[in-house]
Amino acid sequence: MDEIKLTRALLDQGFDHDDLRRLHRGGELIRVRRGAYALEERPGLTVEDRHRRLILGTAPQLRDGAVFRHGSAAVLHGLPVWPAAVERVHVTRNRSGNGIKRAVVQVHGTPLDWPAIVLIDNRPVTSLARTVLDLARTWPMTQAVAAGDRALTLGLTRAELDAGLVAMECWPGVRAARRVVEFLDVRSESVGESVSRVRLMEEGLPAPEPQHEIFGPDGQFMARVDFYWKEQRTVGEFDGKSSVRSASSMERSSTVGCSSPASGSRM
């Protein structure tokens, strides 16, 4: 995990502001946000890594009672996110009323009960079920499904999601959340596969069976394919070359190559 130092802690150690500016220029301190530095540069940071740093630099500067939510909660739970969703650290306070958007932090006012809150590294965060449902209510379907599919692989259950939907019956976006929850599939093994499933649905294609195993006439295992359409005798594979990209670029470039044993055609 990144080690983050607040400016005030560095000053307490005997550094002055000129020292901090010099160390920053020399690359020995990496500015995460105003008042917080990382102690090392790490090449190849993902969107999630960068936002986790921002959370670590922001958490000590928040007043008591803030609970991480939305994209920030997704990152802390290990769910994939898109850059636009984590431009700011998202927190909520247990109150009604309008939120406040600042340069680094966006504060939401939302009533929360304790079953909706968990501790991750001693930081209050909306629970995995509440986080997925919040994303499903507010994010585009491709992004919400990618996060929800991952959450299922982490142990989230349908029962938890269904109970959350009942509690959110009159909330804005609950209809979209129901649609996302119905679409989730624990068999999806990557962000690209999740996005591809949504794209296939949006194109009006039949729903495929994910992770289908194919056996030869002698019963010997031959392959496992990302997508399978039994009636069309067609299989599909997500372009794995995109798997090293960020979630947002994967959404833009997701392609599924499909072939039928009868024709070898692609659709």
- Predicted pLDDT at 95: 74
- Predicted pLDDT at 136: 98
DSSP 191-222: HHHHHHHHHHHHTTPPPPEEEEEEE-TTS-EE
- Predicted pLDDT at 97: 67
As a 3-state breakdown, the chain gives helix, strand, coil percent values, each rounded to 5, of 40, 20, 35
| Alpha-carbon gap, residue 184 to 90, rounded angstroms | 24
- Predicted pLDDT at 99: 78
- Predicted pLDDT at 142: 97
- Predicted pLDDT at 256: 54
- Its pTM stands at 0.83
Contacts of 75 (CB under 8 A, 6+ apart): 48, 51, 52, 55, 81, 86
| Alpha-carbon gap, residue 87 to 93, rounded angstroms | 19
Give the chain's residues under pLDDT 50. Answer: 242-254, 260-267
DSSP at 44: T
- Predicted pLDDT at 30: 93
- Predicted pLDDT at 1: 54
Helix (H) or strand (E) segment spanning residue 57: helix 47-58
- CA 77 to chain CA centroid, nearest Å: 8
Q: Are 137 and 171 in contact (CB under 8 A)?
A: yes
**Overall residue count recorded for the chain in this entry:** 267
- Predicted pLDDT at 232: 86
